[in-house]
Chains A and B, each alone.
Chain A
Amino acid sequence: AQSVTQLDSQVPVFEEAPVELRCNYSSSVSVYLFWYVQYPNQGLQLLLKYLSGSTLVKSINGFEAEFNKSQTSFHLRKPSVHISDTAEYFCAVSPYGGSQGNLIFGKGTKLSVKP
């Protein structure tokens, strides 16, 4: 079985400051890793993912996440946030094999960017 822990339920930050949203996972099998984002009054959407290869993956809007196998982590970072980044961010894993695509989500981290 897999589980995902997002250590911070809420992260307030000022505009243009850096931010890190933490995610740790537990799994007895290899997994794929994802970050999903939910903007106010919108559905969840994929932000970035790690399947294989380079452990550092990036999104088109400046977020990046690094897969650390030894620490079983997949923290999300952005060097300078904008007001428009205010949203809830969910870390998720999917096991290799027959159940790939069945995402196991963390509880989410609400990022609040203040002017």
Chain B
Amino acid sequence: EAGVVQSPRYKIIEKKQPVAFWCNPISGHNTLYWYLQNLGQGPELLIRYENEEAVDDSQLPKDRFSAERLKGVDSTLKIQPAELGDSAVYLCASSPGQGEAVGELFFGEGSRLTVL
């Protein structure tokens, strides 16, 4: 079974430029998450989708960040314009849902962003 796929793995951009990250979750996983991981910190939730609906985006900085999950499968996270402080690893995760699987997230390898 294929895992969560993220691209690109690495991205270097100048500040004020736009950047986009793509995530393909595990087949059949209705729940998709985007997390932000700063150096030396644990992951922090940005947004959670249930199918194509963003059910929790309270931590997403909406002035420059946007996300979409068209058709309830893969997802894109965009930053426009990027700032120096956005340098971090952007993690995508998917989950089969609730019940006994609560909290069982399957993470991709992450997209490491460097803003110069």
Contacts and interface: CB of A to CB of B under 8 A. Distances in A.
Q: Which of A43, A44, A101 has the most CB of B within 10 A?
A: A101
B38 to A, nearest CB: 10
Which bracket fits the contact residues of B? Answer: 20 to 34
A49 B99 CA distance: 13
A44 B91 contact: yes
Interface string A64-105: 000000000000000000000000001010100001111111
Interface in A25-46: 32, 34, 36, 41-46
A101 B42 contact: no
A101 B107 contact: no
B95 interface: yes
Interface string B1-17: 00110000000000000
Contacts of B56: 99, 102
A44 B103 contact: no
Interface in B23-49: 31, 33, 40-45, 48
Interface residues of A, number: 26
Contact of A51 (B40, B100, B107): B100
Interface of B: 3-4, 31, 33, 40-45, 48, 56, 91, 93, 95, 98, 100, 102-110
Given A101-B102, A108-B41, 11 more contacts: A32-B103, A44-B93, A44-B105, A49-B104, A101-B103, A101-B105, A102-B33, A102-B48, A103-B45, A105-B43, A107-B42
